[in-house]
């Protein structure tokens, strides 16, 4: 029994840190056996495993991740690179990833790239040095140096938010282009003709939505370059309002605005309210992502609901398989999207 009640938490080393040796001594086994027992290697007898676990528990032992990483050349950390934390889309993604990876014993290390190629390079270089067990990155758009670093590291990597036909690449997402096209077609089907596409940030996924919009408009013979309102500035409600106010003045015949993100669209809706523009009668407004609050707007916002929680979960699962060298069903998972029609269209 591991009841030694008054056993002082012996500290064998000068550092005063509780080490595997302490656990091994308390359990009456060698250090290696303790290590194996703790890691769940099944070459250890069940009784020993229990004894070691008990000892570790009692002493309050926490393995040193640095020593572990150094000895095994691999950590239990998964690096996740997202562009922004200020877009709730990515927060949802991160939460889902965490919820899937945490029970499996992995920690996540969040890196924020701010949509900057050089920041991504720096983050990757510095995080790869930590010998992560896996990598989760947003989209495919990055410098060749980044791609090389990932490839050379040999760390399994899953790409988030997009799909691909290249079997060498692992990804979980949906077709941004298709979703952009579908919303445009929805507006066309409602009889709108002068549909503007209002966008900010202009990251690769926004541009794919723009592609979908363009193709649908061209197919309908209604495409007009004047109706593409693009701003490289960060997305915000204020910018959404501004895009509407400035461009509607020059194009009063516009009868619908398809915003590339819900925060812009929410700003547009409020601007319409301020300017007494009737939505949807006079102007239809659509968004993208179905962010918090879109169902609270007046009128409520029609949008594309994107499955970011599922993407986070599914990508984590795929990565788990890759990290364990297990076979995976497909290299690219398409989780689709849903057009949520509300009052604004």
Partner DNA sequence: CTGAAAGCGCTTACAG
User: Which residue ranges make up the site for DNA (CB under 7 A)?
Assistant: 13-15, 17-21, 29-33, 35-36, 38-39, 43-45, 48, 61, 63-64, 67-68, 70-74
In terms of CB distance, is 128 or 222 closer to its own copies? 128
Do residues 292 and 320 lie in contact, with contact meaning Cβ atoms separated by under 8 Å? Answer: no
14 vs 225, which CB is nearer to its own copies? 14
Scanning the chain, the segments in alpha helix (DSSP H) are 20-27, 31-38, 46-59, 65-72, 88-101, 117-128, 144-153, 176-189, 204-219, 237-250, 262-274, 308-323
Q: Cβ(144)–Cβ(120) under 8 Å?
A: no
CA 80 – CA 58 distance, rounded (Å): 34
Sheet of 171-173, strands arranged across: 107-112, 77-82, 134-138, 157-161, 171-173, 332-334
Does 207 bind its own copies (CB under 8 A)? Our answer is: no
Site for its own copies in 125-144 (CB under 8 A): 125-126, 128-131
What track of x and - describes contact with its own copies for positions 282 through 321 (by CB under 8 A)? ----------xx-xxxx-----------------------
Using an 8 Å Cβ cutoff, are 240 and 265 in contact? Answer: yes
- Taking each helix axis from N to C end, the angle separating 144-153 and 117-128, rounded to the nearest 10 degrees, works out to 20
Which residue number, 74 or 331, has a Cβ lying nearer to DNA?
74
143 contact, one of DNA, its own copies, none, CB 5-8 Å limit per kind: none
Task: In angstroms, give the least distance from the CB of 91 to its own copies.
Answer: 4
Q: Which of 248, 247, 196, 242 is nearest to 223 (CA)?
A: 196
Binding residues for its own copies restricted to 146-175, rule: CB under 8 A: none
CB of 296 to its own copies, least distance (A): 5
The answer to whether the beta carbons of residues 284 and 257 sit under 8 Å apart is yes
281 binds, among its own copies, DNA, none (CB under 5 to 8 A by kind): none
Kindly indicate which of the ranges 39-47, 83-91, 180-188, 281-289 contains the residues binding its own copies, using the contact rule CB under 8 A: 83-91
| Count of helices and strands (H, E) across the chain | 12, 12
Q: Are 55 and 47 in contact (CB under 8 A)?
A: no
* Chain centroid, CA 105 distance in Å: 19
Output 131 or 251, the one with its CB closest to DNA: 131
Q: Is 24 in the site for its own copies (CB under 8 A)?
A: no
Pairwise CA distance, residues 268 & 325, whole Å: 48
The interface with its own copies within residues 247-276 (CB under 8 A) comprises: 263, 266-267, 270-271, 273-274
CB 152 to its own copies: min, Å: 10
Give the nearer residue to its own copies in terms of CB position, either 239 or 333: 239
List contacts with its own copies (CB under 8 A): 15, 17, 62-70, 73, 75, 85-86, 88, 91-92, 94-95, 98, 107, 109-110, 112, 125-126, 128-131, 236-238, 241, 263, 266-267, 270-271, 273-274, 292-293, 295-298
């Amino acid at each position: 029994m591991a009841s030694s009640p008054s056993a002082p938490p012996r500290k064998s080393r000068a550092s005063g840190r509780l080490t595997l040796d302490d656990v091994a001594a308390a359990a009456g086994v060698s250090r290696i056996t303790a290590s194996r027992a703790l890691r769940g290697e099944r070459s250890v007898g069940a009784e020993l495993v229990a004894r070691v676990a008990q000892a570790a528990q009692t002493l309050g032992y926490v393995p040193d991740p640095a020593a572990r990483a150094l000895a095994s050349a691999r950590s239990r950390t998964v690096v996740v690179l997202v562009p922004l934390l200020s877009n709730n889309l990515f927060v949802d993604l991160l939460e889902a990833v965490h919820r899937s990876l945490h029970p499996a014993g992995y920690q996540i290390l969040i890196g924020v790239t701010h949509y900057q190629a050089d920041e991504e390079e720096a983050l990757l270089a510095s995080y790869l040095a930590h010998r992560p067990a896996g990598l989760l990155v947003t989209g495919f758009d990055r410098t060749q140096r980044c791609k090389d670093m990932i490839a050379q590291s040999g760390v399994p990597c899953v790409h988030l938010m997009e799909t691909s036909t290249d079997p060498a690449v692992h990804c979980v997402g949906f077709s941004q282009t298709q979703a952009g096209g579908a919303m445009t077609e929805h507006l066309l089907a409602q009889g709108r003709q002068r549909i503007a596409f209002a966008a900010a940030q202009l990251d690769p996924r926004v541009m794919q939505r723009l592609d979908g919009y363009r193709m649908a408009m061209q197919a309908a013979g209604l495409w007009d370059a004047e109706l593409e309102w693009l701003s490289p500035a960060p997305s915000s409600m204020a910018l959404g309002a501004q895009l509407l106010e400035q461009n509607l003045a020059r194009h009063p015949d516009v009868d619908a605005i398809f915003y590339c993100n819900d925060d812009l669209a929410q700003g547009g809706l409020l601007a319409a309210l301020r300017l007494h523009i009737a939505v949807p009668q006079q102007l239809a407004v659509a968004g993208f992502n179905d962010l918090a609050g879109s169902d609270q707007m007046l009128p409520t916002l029609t949008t594309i609901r994107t499955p970011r929680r599922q993407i986070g979960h599914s990508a984590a699962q795929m990565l788990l398989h890759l990290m364990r060298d297990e076979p995976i069903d497909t290299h690219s998972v398409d989780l689709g999207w849903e057009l949520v029609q509300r009052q604004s269209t």
